[in-house]
Amino acid sequence: MRSLDMKDGPIASVLIADELASSQSDSLDVVVRLKDGRRFGLTLFTLEHLRRQLDQALCFVTPRMLLVRNLSDEAILDAVRSAMSQDFERLGVLQPLINQ
């Protein structure tokens, strides 16, 4: 697990499970920690992921989806900031607190 720290705003950090993220991957689950203590899970997808899914089915339905150009740290942080500006309560899934 690694963390991308945020310098400003209500987001404290973005947690990424490195063991699940590989150079071959085209989707990624992240947990966003807010400074007020809440945590939200989000899934980031690339266009390639959507293409592959639609090659196998007529439709693709998923909750809490964010589309990114690639899975770089820059794209991940941009997606999280965009989700924050559009209300995490609609886009993310509230996660239980983890005792640290």
DSSP assignment of 69-90 equals: S---HHHHHHHHHHHHHT-HHH
Task: Note the pTM of the prediction, 2 decimals.
Answer: 0.74
Are 62 and 77 within 8 A, CB to CB?
A: no
CA distances from 25 to 17, 21, 29, 91 (A): 12, 6, 11, 22
CA distance 84 to 30: 14
User: What confidence tens digit (pLDDT) does each residue in 30-43 have?
Assistant: 888 888 888 888 88
User: What confidence tens digit (pLDDT) does each residue in 40-87 have?
Assistant: 888 888 999 999 989 999 988 877 678 899 999 899 999 888 888 877
Q: What angle do CA 96, 34, 14 make, to 5 degrees?
A: 90
